[in-house]
């Protein structure tokens, strides 16, 4: 079973969750129910994924107690301004069919498209947390300069920064910076959108352990202390990706994966993203 880690605000998050980017609303219900059956209790959605309603239906249909599920969603870039952010928060709650969101993230700083309006979003998120609509608030795709700016106007240190992170794009400098600030690193595209699964060094470790390449990479994230949210719509892979709590990588195996870091960014660079 996934273990929980404690965020800087005392909230506990299961370290492994299911990502649902590019899973459409109708499909999301079945995928999330499959994940719950496999033992997942943490789902990573976003307003921009247009599947909050489908995820919410799975939560309702699962029969699981609400406090056993950890649900993350993210505020869309166009809604950073005060009134928009508030409305978007209420809409997320309604679509999800929930009274509260466990973790609410600013999806992107989006400075080129929307200036510093992410600072307004942060204000709204703090208020939502104070009102009990959200348990924990954090950011996504923030570089250290975005964090510095946020913390120049707010005393609330984000609990999480969800960033692209996988063996060939390991983000070692940012990880150190986040550790220093007490912000948990949550790894998006943790498998490198399946590209890193092809790496021969990962395959060699998998062979040694009698495991799959995906399990090796997920285990690498867990042992580095990352929160990790692999996405799959395939029932066998959903089960495979959570079957990672009965083995470990040894130091040599961890180092073999560490050596793959090659600056291989797949997604947009937060410093230059124009959306
Ligand atoms: N904050 C952000 O800006 C941001 C950006 C990107 C992603 N995210 C979050 O991070 C989550 C994960 O990232 P991601 O979806 O980009 O990529 P990912 O999890 O690194 O990779 C997903 C891909 O790997 C395949 N896969 C999964 N498990 C596998 C296995 N055991 N064996 C072989 N292939 C496997 C999936 O295929 P099938 O689905 O076909 O099985 C899918 O094609 C997203 O779903 C989303 O929640 C956040």
pLDDT of amino acid 7: 98
DSSP classification of residue 2: P
pLDDT of amino acid 3: 87
Taking the C-alpha atoms of residue 154 and residue 119, their distance in angstroms, rounded to an integer, is: 9
Is the C-beta atom of 195 inside 6 A of ligand 1? Answer: no
Distance 189 CA to ligand 1 centre (A): 5
Residues 6+ apart with CB under 8 A from 77: 48, 107, 108, 110, 113, 114, 275
Of the candidates 40, 49, 104, 118, the residue annotated as catalytic is: 49
pLDDT of amino acid 259: 98
Is the C-beta atom of 73 inside 6 A of ligand 1? Answer: no
Distance 116 CA to ligand 1 centre (A): 30
Q: Which of 36, 101, 109 is nearest to 73 (CA)?
A: 101
Catalytic site residue 49?
yes
Is the C-beta atom of 233 inside 6 A of ligand 1? Answer: yes
CB atoms within 10 A of CB 140: 23
Please report, in tens digits, the pLDDT of each residue of the chain (275 residues total): 678 999 999 999 999 999 999 999 999 999 999 999 999 999 999 999 999 999 999 999 999 999 999 999 999 999 999 999 999 999 999 999 999 999 999 999 999 999 999 999 999 999 999 999 999 999 999 999 999 999 999 999 999 999 999 999 999 999 999 999 999 999 999 999 999 999 999 999 999 999 999 999 999 999 999 999 999 999 999 999 999 999 999 999 999 999 999 999 999 999 999 98
pLDDT of amino acid 188: 98
pTM for the model stands at 0.98
Task: Give the residue, by CA position, lying nearest to ligand 1 atom 47.
Answer: 19
Taking the C-alpha atoms of residue 268 and residue 275, their distance in angstroms, rounded to an integer, is: 10
Query: What's the topology of domain 4-196+227-246?
Result: TIM Barrel (3.20.20)
Is the C-beta atom of 47 inside 6 A of ligand 1? Answer: no
Two tokens at 217?
A: 């990479």
């Amino acid at each position: 079973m996934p273990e929980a880690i404690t965020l800087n605000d005392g909230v506990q998050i299961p370290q492994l969750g299911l990502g649902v980017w590019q899973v459409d609303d109708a499909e999301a219900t079945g995928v999330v129910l499959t994940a719950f059956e496999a033992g997942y209790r943490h789902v990573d959605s976003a307003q921009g994924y247009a599947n909050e309603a489908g995820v919410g239906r799975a939560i309702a249909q699962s029969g699981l107690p609400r406090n056993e599920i950890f649900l993350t969603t993210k505020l869309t870039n166009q809604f950073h301004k005060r009134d928009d952010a508030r409305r978007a928060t209420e809409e997320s709650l309604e679509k999800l069919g929930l009274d509260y969101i466990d973790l609410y993230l600013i999806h992107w700083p989006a400075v080129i498209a929307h200036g510093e309006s992410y600072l307004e979003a942060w204000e709204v998120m703090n208020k939502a947390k104070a009102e009990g609509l959200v348990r924990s608030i954090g950011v996504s795709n923030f570089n250290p300069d975005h964090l510095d700016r946020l913390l120049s106007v707010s005393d609330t240190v984000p609990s999480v920064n969800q960033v692209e992170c996988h063996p060939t794009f390991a983000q070692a400098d940012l990880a150190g910076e986040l550790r220093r600030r007490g912000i948990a690193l949550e790894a998006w595209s943790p498998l490198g959108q399946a590209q890193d699964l092809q790496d021969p060094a990962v395959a060699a470790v998998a062979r040694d352990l009698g495991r799959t390449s995906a399990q090796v990479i997920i285990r690498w994230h867990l042992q580095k202390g990352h929160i990790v949210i692999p996405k799959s719509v395939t029932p066998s892979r959903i089960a495979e990706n959570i079957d990672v709590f009965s083995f470990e990588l040894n130091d040599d195996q961890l180092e073999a994966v560490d050596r793959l870091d090659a600056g291989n960014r797949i997604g947009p660079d937060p410093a230059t993203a124009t959306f």
